[in-house]
Amino acid sequence: MSTRAHVLVLLVTLSTILFLLRLLRRHKLPARYALLWLSVGGVLVALAASPTALDRASAWAGISYAPATFFLGAITLLFLVVVQFSWELSRLDDRTRDLAEEIAILRIERTGSADEGAPDELAERPE
């Protein structure tokens, strides 16, 4: 990579990290995700700052085309993140449905107590 490309990558990576830190400070990003993405950013900075790091890593892994090493790492990481998200999403889905079911059952019981004549401020009343 040319020096210009390295500076460009470095700038993009640094601004991404700043963006993440801003999200974190505004409590828009939970700490555990922030930690993940910040460490990804850290690796990118290291790669951009040291031109030969990727080549040396590729040689060590036996990969002759250095960018392939980068893509392999990136795709593996993104794949794992997406699998983790699917898992989390289905868990949230289950919990949401559980709550909806509980609400439906609680609604019956509220109506039931209203029928028995108990004062119920939240019950619907004819205008």
Partner 1 sequence: MPSPSDPAGHRLPPRVPAPATGTYGRRTLVVIPALDEEQALPGVLEELASQLPCADILVVDDGSTDGTAAAARKAGVAVAELPFHVGIGGALQTGFRYAVRHGYEGAVQFDADGQHDATQVRTLLQALEAGADLVIGNRFADAEDSYDVGRVRGRAMGVLRVLVRLLSGQRFVDTSSGFRAFSARMLQYFAKSYPTEYLDSVESLLLACRAGFRVVEVPVHMRPRTMGSPSTRSYKLLYHYLRVIVSMIGQGAPRAENRLTS
CB of 109 to partner 1, least distance (A): 9
Nearest residue to 41 via CA among 17, 23, 9, 22:
17
Contact with partner 1 (CB under 8 A) among 89, 100, 118, 123: 100
Residue 97 binding partner 1, by CB under 8 A: yes
Residue 91 binding partner 1, by CB under 8 A: no
Residue 32 to residues 11, 29, 52, 53, 100: CA-CA distances in angstroms?
Answer: 24, 8, 31, 27, 28
Residue 107 binding partner 1, by CB under 8 A: yes
CB of 93 to partner 1, least distance (A): 8
In the bound state with partner 1, the residue whose beta carbon lies nearer, of 8 and 106, is 106
Beta-carbon contacts of residue 122 (< 8 Å; ≥ 6 apart): 110
**Residues forming the site for partner 1 (CB under 8 A):** 94, 97, 100-101, 103-105, 107-108, 111-112
